[in-house]
Each structure stands twice: as C-alpha cells, then as structure tokens.
Amino acid sequence: MAHILAVGGGKGGSGKSFVCANLGVLLAKQGKSVLLIDLDLGTPNLHTMVGVDNPKIGLNNFINKSTNDLSRTAVPTKIPNLYLISSTRCSLEVSNLYYVQKQKIIRAVLQMPSDYVILDLGAGTTYNTLDFFLSAHQGITVFTPEPTSIQNTVQFIKAVYLRKLKHILKQDGFTRIMKKIGYETEDGAVRSPLDIVENIMQMEPERAQMLQRELRKRDFRLVLNQYRKQVDEALGKKIEKVCNRHFYSHFTFLGNITYNERIFESIVAKSVFAEKYPYTPTCTDLKNITSTLTESAPYPSSEQEQHVQI
C-alpha cells in the first residue's frame, strides 16, 4: 500500500501544486516511486509544474470507465520514478464528482503500487476536496503569510475537522445524542467542533472520550510557503500552537519555504524547480520538509490503514 500525502488549503495561489510537484521530485530523486495525482478537478495545472506538456491520458479515462485500472492512466515525467495522473482532459462537470465516483477514485488511490502518492487538491472546502484530504495518511495544508491566506487556512482546517467529526457522529449512538444537542446553537450559528465535543462530554463522558481518541488519530501538517524576510520566522509555530489548543487533533508545522522569483521562471520554462535550482534556500527548505515527512511516517502502520477514511 502506498503512503498517501494530500496537499490542500483554503486559498488558491498559495503554492499547493508547487509543493506537490517538488515534494514528488525530491522523493523520486531518493529512489522512491512517486505518483502525483492532480485532483484540482476544475482547474488542473500540476502537469505544467512537472514539465509534462499535454498528457494524452489521465483521470478522465478512469472516470469514463475506459479503464478500471487507475495506474494505467499515469504518464511518466522527465524525472525517473515520478509519474503523473493528470485531470486536464476531464470534462467540466467532473469538478462536481458524484459520491460513487469519488469513492471509486479513493479506493483505487489506496491500491496504487507506488511508494508515495501525492494528491494535489483544489482550493476551497467542497466535500470532494475535504474527502480526498481525509483519505490521505498525511494531510498537508499550505498557506502564505498573508492574513487572508491564514484566515482561509483556518477555515479549511475547521471544515476538514467538522467533516471528520460528522463522519464519526453518524455512527451508532451519536445520532441520538446529536439530535438532542443539534449542529446549530440556539441563535442559529454552526456549533464549533470543540463545542460539540464539550456538549457530548456533559451528557455521555465515555462516548466523548472515544470521540476525542478518534479525532486524535488525525494528524495535520502545516507548511508556510512564500516566506520572506519581513515575516515573523516563528509564525508557523504560532499557528501550530493555536491549532493544537483549539482542536483535538495533532498539528505539526513542517517549516517555511522561502519565496523565490526563479519559481516563476521555472514554471514559464516548463522545467521542474527542484531539479533546475537545487542549490537555492527554497530547495533546501523543500528538502528539509521532505525529510521530516519521510522520517515521521515512512510507511503507514496497520493502525493508520484502519483509519484511512473513505
């Protein structure tokens, strides 16, 4: 079973696709087989980040059932060991996948024979995006130092968290309690996850503890991209601390990725940044993040496998 990484975040343009592509390149250069999947279904562009011009096959072939083998929809990239499943040929309707189609994709992703599968997700908090994010062993949220990006990141994390929480609450026993508590407060506001857990705690402490244990099994990784000198170096750590205080899951800040003008040049030239500019501070940052990711959980443990959510 492949180790699945998903890269998401509330805001477009924060560098999700850039991070996916370059983590993929660096892992492939370590000799790992890596499959990148572009799941930004309405607006795909991961192929350009890895220098693939016009993928002839892709996710569309799996969705329209011309093949049932997802691995056959991958194309090689210029980098040995690095493959891509693109969604450039998917129809426009595909950005609103049916539930069964999403399930089928997630099941197939879990069976991929690569060492690593990296899912590049679109911006925003559609159910498709949240469920793809939750299907991964490690979910990475990429944001920039701009307040708008941080706001959207917090919204994204809340949405993922609430989706996970609701998934657990659908199970036996919780539906009855949730009918009493309600997902909304008396004044019509959506209850925060913390509020829901605290309410359950008052009514049925044992069940609340079980819920907390389930939520603790989720790990979130945070990456601050487009880092510049003027930015507080500890910003990412501060956000990690706030998230760890407000959610029952575990948040780990993986590091800053330095802003670099050459990224623009490399994208325009359709070359791969980490290959073209390996001796830049930005590439060093990417290498450090790659090491932390591989060291923290090189392969899914059997316990993690059980909790991959579909």
Ligand X SMILES: Nc1ncnc2c1ncn2[C@@H]1O[C@H](COP(=O)(O)OP(=O)(O)O)[C@@H](O)[C@H]1O
Interface ranges with ligand X (CB under 6 A): 12-18, 123, 225-226, 257, 259-260, 263-264, 267, 282
- Cα–Cα distance measured from residue 176 to residue 107, given in angstroms and rounded to the nearest whole number: 30
Beta pairing, strands 82-85 & 219-227: unpaired
Binding partner of residue 278 among Mg ion, ligand X, none, CB cut-off 5 to 8 Å per kind: none
Residue closer to Mg ion by CB (options 40, 115) is 40
> Cβ 8 to ligand X, closest distance in Å?
9
Binding to Mg ion, residues 26-55 (CB under 5 A): 40
What is the size of the binding site for Mg ion (CB under 5 A)? 3
- Partner that binds at residue 257, options ligand X, Mg ion, none, CB closer than 5 to 8 Å by kind: ligand X
* Strands laid side by side in the 3-8 sheet: 75-76, 82-85, 34-39, 116-121, 3-8, 138-143, 219-227, 250-258
What is residue 309's three-state secondary structure?
coil
- Rounded Cα distance between 35 and 300, Å, is 16
| Residue 15 interacts with, from ligand X, Mg ion, none (CB under 5-8 Å by kind) | ligand X
Report, in Å, the least distance between residue 224 CB and ligand X: 10
Min CB(16)–Mg ion separation in Å: 5
In contact, 240 and 292? CB cutoff 8 Å: no
CB closer to ligand X out of 197 and 272: 272
Task: Report d(CA 122, CA 191) in Å as an integer.
Answer: 26
Cβ nearer to ligand X, comparing 18 with 133: 18
In whole angstroms, how close is the CB of 45 to Mg ion at the nearest point?
Answer: 6
Residue 61 near Mg ion by CB under 5 A:
no
Range in contact with Mg ion (rule: CB under 5 A) among 8-16, 105-113, 146-154, 276-284: 8-16
- For Mg ion, which is the closer residue by CB, 122 or 300? 122
Burial of 83 (0-12, 13-18, 19+ CB in 10 A): buried
How far apart CA 191 and CA 194 sit, in angstroms, is 8
Residue 44 near residue 177 (C-beta atoms within 8 A)? no
Q: How far apart are CA 41 and CA 80, in angstroms?
A: 26
Among 4, 9, 17, 132, binds Mg ion (CB under 5 A): 17
What are 231's two structure tokens?
């930015």
Residues that bind Mg ion (CB under 5 A): 16-17, 40
